[in-house]
Structure 1
């Protein structure tokens, strides 16, 4: 243990220790951006990931980055803010939204300086497309529909050039905390399940989302709500977990599809594709003024209603107006996925259905990534900054990761300089937590059936009962148990909020309460009771670190 923190493990089981100023958990856009900025600010930073460094969700982002660069006539930051607020269903934090979107141009500029190459337009500037909820062509993209791949490539290359150390195949289990409750490091397991500690006065969670709560998702296998669980067990509140965005156009690969399903980017509709049902009727006709480019919650709900009325399980995205060379140039990733299931999108409409995509809620933070727990920060999809509200505007997620990742690193530097963070030597290495763990297959089945796009009180109660019956207290001694425990806790927190929100708003659709209730125009926060049970809290307000 090198004379560091005290070990609370039986038989001294914390086998090794590493030290840093900042430990970043996750290698997505937010985590790598934060690590690079921390390194620039002179901090000793360590990045830890439970998978390979390229195993996160960033690489799967197809559409692009929504940003106003001043080169699109009529567009403005204010207009981008207005579109975001409209999509967010009355739950966006206006100040946070303006701050994050306002920082967007500088953040994208830094990304380009780090080597990211966006597709060029005819005028020599970046090409643009439009996605659902946007009133202007403001989404920059790379590789046609492979923006996430390019963002990840550039950030990983910059991290290697900047000598940012990365610890692969180590899963974060729990934070180290001082007697006062401040975070001062991280308990991790290596690939063989051997525990160790990473001591640091600051820990940044950038672990991504919780798509694996559901049977079918656009998220990779690593999206198991790890950061949400770690934050809750550390004493930080989470908010807006009931708002899970289902992407309306995920490639339909057959009945009972499981795991990560190929996304058909919204930009295909931005280029003129339309949604039709099996009879050839338009799905979104008369539903919203923006039609097929309405916000995602609107389009997903319209598809779900149409499928219920027809007794079918998928609709079609007709992009046959695009010839084969155009589709190949603009959407090579989508084309490859379609051809793999025998569909040529230039000749035949693409079968699609909604699937779990993005968590609009998460750990409550400021726009600088600060949580209510000193020493604990969060950025990216795991965080709830107030940008997304009840429904995320398309392509705002990469932007948020770039902006908040940078701001979080700067917040850590400021907090270190002010001396407000804990001394890691005051923390003890905790024993491996023993917490409820439900069977993942059972959890995914009941969440998909009762807590997807359409919910009601009876179904949500079924989910709660099934989780109560199936969950068994287990020590988190393996990566699989850490992930399953995180999914169990996140599901319970989500159900608590969803059952309490007796209205339909944004991504949260209650079949038994179909209307929007002005009384619910506020966020619901959840924290853990001393016994480890999710409990609804007051509306989301931070007690420290105001933006």
Structure 2
């Protein structure tokens, strides 16, 4: 696409927030008293990974727990690759961030008490040495998302655009101005046209990229849009090889993306083979409470060894009333599918769940492009290292949204909106009559990423995946240059870019660490070093042209 003519943008705002989950809405609410905010949501505001998060949010609320313990647990789970500075910053700000959510109206479960001050019920999950997970039954994400959506809808300084895709960031590459972000091109799905947003600051809060895999716990919107856009704008990425596969996704044709929270294992659920025997004690001293990468590989190993379609998660030994009280959402969902978890085990398989790497940021959530921020799963802060510990994800969203807000507020008066931006030129493109090509490429990408770049990898599988990706990139580049954009085309373009970053990062790592396991490099290297990729390394690739 060539953007030629200068014109007044469709929208002007102080801060454009691309994404409407916990990270984006927290940032919007913190900024709204100081600036005009525009929030872009690809689907309905209630859609996204936040809404479907079950387990909870980690913070030290128990007097027997400590921030040092939370730090140590996170560092251990991250397999030596966490940034200690990021871990300390996140855990030290955890309680205040959760208190802010409580003040907004999020109803975390409490223990009955006459003491006056609320006492919160705390779960324990894999990797945690203490009970420190605040939760709203087994639907914490829903409680957080609906509360924040209600607050955002009531604020006069926040404008919401639902069912809009972000296409690309507008930077010096399009404008010829000094290196910075000036806004974004967005696709109005209702009117099927590209529009322009001018902004002083842009924040990416688009979530992760697990839709690049055939089997995922994520909703359809998790297509790596923010990572791909930031890469095309010149931002570095880090640790993209570490994609977390959640060990326990319900194995049922009617629930392909339904997650079974780690809190089940925290409350005593056991992983079993089809014959009813346990296997996790053979893989890790913490058994079912081992870090997610260990549990996911153990399930994958047992499935392949036995030729089984799934393993089983059994909590039926707990009292039925206990199960229904603590896991009402899961209980009702499984019952609707004909499975009574109070009486029988749940069939489970691993599924792509969380992108531990992402766009490189500092502790203010700033990226390499001035004025551009990245918060939540789209970002690489250094918190998660080679494996994210359970319930640190929503925490990262809130902590770094608050950090970004403080940084932006300090700079609001120092930046001017650029009111003349290059328009989007569609004069040389046509309506596509080959949608089947997009669908075919879509399915091919997700299948070979699952087969070649999944839980267990080899050098040969990675090389095959990269060859397929490069072929797809050429096809998609030609298609993008000649046809009008659509939701499927935009997502496919971004997913192929993210797939390249995942594979190239995996090829750079000559060891097995955390979530990245390569049979050709099974040992740990003595030094843990993040995998950094820079766009300048790959400028000849057609997938990197905006």
Provide TM-score, normalisation by structure 2: 0.91
Q: In structure 2, list runs of 5 or more residues that go unmatched.
A: 430-436
Distance in 2 between the 1:397 and 1:155 partners? 17
Higher helix share: 2
Describe the superposition over 1:182-203 as per-residue Cα deviations: whole angstroms up to 9, x where unpaired.
Answer: 1010101101321111100210
C-alpha deviation, 1:20, in angstroms: 0.6
C-alpha deviation, 1:429, in angstroms: 3.9
Look up the match of 2:291: 295
Distance in 2 between the 1:15 and 1:305 partners? 57
C-alpha deviation, 1:181, in angstroms: 2.8
Distance in 1 between the 2:500 and 2:310 partners? 29
The DSSP-based 3-state class of the residue aligned with 1:386 is: coil
Look up the match of 2:166: 172
C-alpha deviation, 1:94, in angstroms: 0.3
1:188 aligns with 2:182: no
C-alpha deviation, 1:428, in angstroms: 3.1
C-alpha deviation, 1:287, in angstroms: 2.1
C-alpha deviation, 1:278, in angstroms: 1.3
Which of residues 66, 71, 74 in structure 2 aligns to 1:76? 66
Which of residues 104, 125, 147 in structure 1 aligns to 2:94? 104
C-alpha deviation, 1:342, in angstroms: 1.7
Look up the match of 2:497: 489
Is the Cα–Cα contact under 8 Å of residues 131 and 267 in structure 1 kept in the other structure? yes
Distance in 1 between the 2:445 and 2:332 partners? 31
C-alpha deviation, 1:16, in angstroms: 5.7
1:397 aligns with 2:405: no
Look up the match of 2:278: 282
Q: 1:65-144 counterparts in 2 under 5 A? A: 65-69=57-61, 72-123=62-113, 124-142=118-136, 144=137
Distance in 2 between the 1:338 and 1:360 partners? 29
Provide TM-score, normalisation by structure 1: 0.90
1:225 aligns with 2:256: no
Look up the match of 2:350: 354
1:54 aligns with 2:46: yes
1:33 aligns with 2:15: no
Q: 1:388-467 counterparts in 2 under 5 A? A: 388-417=384-413, 419=414, 421=415, 423-425=417-419, 427-429=421-423, 431=425, 439-467=441-469
Look up the match of 2:154: 161
Is the Cα–Cα contact under 8 Å of residues 14 and 197 in structure 1 kept in the other structure? no
Which of residues 309, 314, 333 in structure 1 aligns to 2:310? 314
Q: 1:197-276 counterparts in 2 under 5 A? A: 197-254=196-253, 261-276=257-272
Distance in 1 between the 2:240 and 2:112 partners? 42
Distance in 2 between the 1:482 and 1:13 partners? 24
Distance in 1 between the 2:408 and 2:80 partners? 31
Distance 1:8 1:415, change over 3 A: farther
Distance in 1 between the 2:472 and 2:382 partners? 34
Describe the superposition over 1:367-405 as per-residue Cα deviations: whole angstroms up to 9, x where unpaired.
Answer: 211001101110000001110010000000111111111
C-alpha deviation, 1:275, in angstroms: 0.5
Which of residues 503, 507, 510 in structure 1 aligns to 2:511? 503
Describe the superposition over 1:407-461 as per-residue Cα deviations: whole angstroms up to 9, x where unpaired.
Answer: 11221122334x2x46424653455799x98811000000011111000011111
C-alpha deviation, 1:524, in angstroms: 2.9
Distance in 1 between the 2:233 and 2:443 partners? 27
The DSSP-based 3-state class of the residue aligned with 1:381 is: helix
Distance in 2 between the 1:526 and 1:333 partners? 43
C-alpha deviation, 1:499, in angstroms: 1.3
C-alpha deviation, 1:131, in angstroms: 0.4
Distance in 2 between the 1:15 and 1:168 partners? 22
The DSSP-based 3-state class of the residue aligned with 1:165 is: strand
Describe the superposition over 1:246-283 as per-residue Cα deviations: whole angstroms up to 9, x where unpaired.
Answer: 000110115xx9x9511000001111111011122212
Distance 1:111 1:470, change over 3 A: same
CA RMSD across the alignment: 2.2
Distance in 1 between the 2:463 and 2:192 partners? 35
Distance in 1 between the 2:465 and 2:332 partners? 37
Look up the match of 1:523: 531
C-alpha deviation, 1:57, in angstroms: 1.1
Distance in 1 between the 2:450 and 2:58 partners? 30
Distance in 2 between the 1:347 and 1:304 partners? 25
Q: In structure 1, list runs of 5 or more residues that go unmatched.
A: 1-6, 536-547
In terms of mean alpha carbon deviation, does 149-158 or 13-22 score higher?
A: 13-22
Distance in 2 between the 1:314 and 1:224 partners? 26
